[in-house]
């Protein structure tokens, strides 16, 4: 997926387009449940010395299905 992301670094918001690989489609679900993606975005978009870091996924701009997942708990 390609998503529009707003990062807030030291009270200064900036918007960027980033790619996301996730099983979730909704921006809110990605922010709440997909810790790997949020950690990767934090490592990619911020320097280690940055303080007051926040990432907000605004919208999903495009989706491409790469594969499927097998979830045994969902039938």
Query: Which residues partner with 55 through β-bridges?
Result: 7
Domain boundaries, position 20 = 2-62
Q: Residues 74, 48: contact at Cβ < 8 Å?
A: no
Domain count of the chain? 1
Provide the whole-model pTM.
Answer: 0.79
Q: Residues 69, 34: contact at Cβ < 8 Å?
A: no
pLDDT digits (tens, 9 = 90+) for 7-30: 988 788 999 999 999 889 899 999
In a domain, 70, yes or no: no
pLDDT, residue 75, reads 46
pLDDT, residue 72, reads 65
- Dist. CA 75–CA 70, nearest whole Å: 10
pLDDT, residue 70, reads 75
Residue whose C-alpha is closest to residue 6's, from 57, 62, 48: 57
């Amino acid at each position: 997926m390609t998503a529009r992301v707003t990062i807030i670094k030291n009270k200064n918001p900036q918007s960027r387009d980033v790619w996301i690989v996730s099983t979730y489609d909704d921006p809110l679900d990605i922010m709440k449940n997909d810790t790997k993606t949020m950690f990767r975005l934090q490592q990619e978009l911020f320097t280690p010395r940055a303080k007051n870091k926040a990432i907000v996924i605004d919208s999903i701009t495009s989706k491409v299905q790469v594969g499927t997942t097998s979830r045994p708990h969902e039938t």
